[in-house]
């Protein structure tokens, strides 16, 4: 099995966890208020038509096609990079997380027309925009890419 296909497996795990968590939240919280988990964290059910952290969520609808196009183009580019950079463990791990997150949110946009967000962190009344596991995977993958870049510069 080619190396890049193993990394696709990690992306599939991210997609599966993301979609399963969203299905559970929609099932559990539809028509209900959020659940207070800790003084700084709630589980909520929000529908986001924008990008990560609600960016452009009030843009009027055109952004759905834009973000779908970006997700598809980015996914194809990431698969290309995974094939090209065989053997680069941290780089491939990071790309796999980004790919899984991008496809996880793309599935929502195709299936229901928006993204399900449910993780709500806050400090008193100041709430960080709600997000989901796909957004977390994209963020983690980006941090790992930065660390990989720093590590490569030091060599």
Q: Which of 108, 117, 120, 148 is catalytic?
A: 117
Q: DSSP alpha helices (H): ranges in the chain? A: 3-29, 62-84, 89-112, 133-154
Q: Which of 108, 120, 135, 148 is catalytic?
A: 135
117 is catalytic: yes
- Which residues lie closer than 8 Å to 135 by C-beta, 6 or more apart? 52, 53, 101, 105, 117
Cα 1 to chain centroid distance, Å, stands at: 26
135 is catalytic: yes
- Residues 37 and 118: beta-carbon distance below 8 Å: no
Pairing between β-strand 126-127 and β-strand 35-38 as defined by DSSP bridges: unpaired
Nearest to 78 by CA among 41, 55, 106, 115: 106
Separation of alpha carbons 134 and 25, rounded Å: 14
Enumerate the active-site residues.
Answer: 117, 135
């Amino acid at each position: 099995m080619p190396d890049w296909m193993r990394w696709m497996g990690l992306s599939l795990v991210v997609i599966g966890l993301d979609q399963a968590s969203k299905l559970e939240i929609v099932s559990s919280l539809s028509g209900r208020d959020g659940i207070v988990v800790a003084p700084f964290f709630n589980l909520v059910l929000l529908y986001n038509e924008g990008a990560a952290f609600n960016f452009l969520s009030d843009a009027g609808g055109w952004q759905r096609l834009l973000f779908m196009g970006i997700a598809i183009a980015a996914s194809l580019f990431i698969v290309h990079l995974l094939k090209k950079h065989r053997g680069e463990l941290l780089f491939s791990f990071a790309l796999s997380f980004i790919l899984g997150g991008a496809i996880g949110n793309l599935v929502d946009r195709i299936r229901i027309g928006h993204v399900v967000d449910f993780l709500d962190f806050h400090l008193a009344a100041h709430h960080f925009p709600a997000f989901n596991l796909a957004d977390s995977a994209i963020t983690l993958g980006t941090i790992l890419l930065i660390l990989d870049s720093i590590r490569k510069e030091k060599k």
